[in-house]
Amino acid sequence: MNKKHISEENLNFDMSSNVLKFLSEEQKEYIRNIMFSVNFSKGEIIFKQGTPMLHIVFIIGGMAKIYIEDNNNKNIVISLIKPGEIIGGPGFYTDYKHHFSVTALENTTACFIEVAAFKKMILESPEFGLEFIRYRNIRHINFYDKLRVTSHKQMNGRLAHTLLYLSDTVYHSNSFKTTLTRQDLADMSSMTKESAIRVLKSFKESGIIECQNNDFEIKNKTALKNILESG
């Protein structure tokens, strides 16, 4: 993990793609001066559930998974984070703890902004506060969707949900190569690795998807959406 300050180009890119874009020029300059970046290798933990939340983090390269760790080794993958996206968990201005862990899925560069600076921005600029509320609320809405799927859909529907999320939200393509393991797919769908494999196989056999190893192709998205709705 090597720590460094950010080149200005990178920073401008980042600030235009998340909630930071609502800062004034002066504020951006301030943030620019105090933030720092760290490179993580694939598999490294960016931060760990239960530890103090000292920074708001955002990713400027690579990809990471956000997941809740359960007592008995069962994880729930909540979402994947791509370049430009910010991670400001619900610990902000509450207990200042991380309520989930974040791990790099490939080599990933993360930027760190102290929470105190973030709070300062909100106090200086209530418009920014509103935008941050919007960001938090969108996360919350996504979460409602996840709860609905995990409590009332069965395995086919849950895995369909995961595949559609990967295709529509993460990779923006019907065919994609991923670094996610079968265990990760299972953790995204609230089932065991073995079950995920079996459901993938049944999707393959009915011609809905193609997949070998980590290459996926969705052949029939309509069918997948039907499975999500009905099952």
Of the candidate residues 7, 183, 206, 230, the single one contacting DNA (CB under 7 A): 183
Stretch that binds DNA, among 17-25, 125-133, 141-149, 186-194 (CB under 7 A): 186-194
* Min CB(162)–its own copies separation in Å: 13
Interaction of residue 182 with DNA, rule CB under 7 A? yes
Q: Give all strands of the β-sheet with 175-177 in edge-to-edge order.
A: 175-177, 215-218, 209-212
Least separation in angstroms between residue 212's CB and its own copies is 29
Residue with smaller CB distance to its own copies, 76 or 164: 76
Residue whose CB is less far from its own copies, 167 or 190? 190
Binding site for DNA (CB under 7 A): 154-156, 181-183, 190-195, 197-198, 200-201, 212-214
Binding site for its own copies (CB under 8 A): 68, 70-72, 74, 76, 90-95, 99-100, 119, 122-127, 129-130, 132-134, 136-141, 143-144, 146-148, 150-152, 190, 229
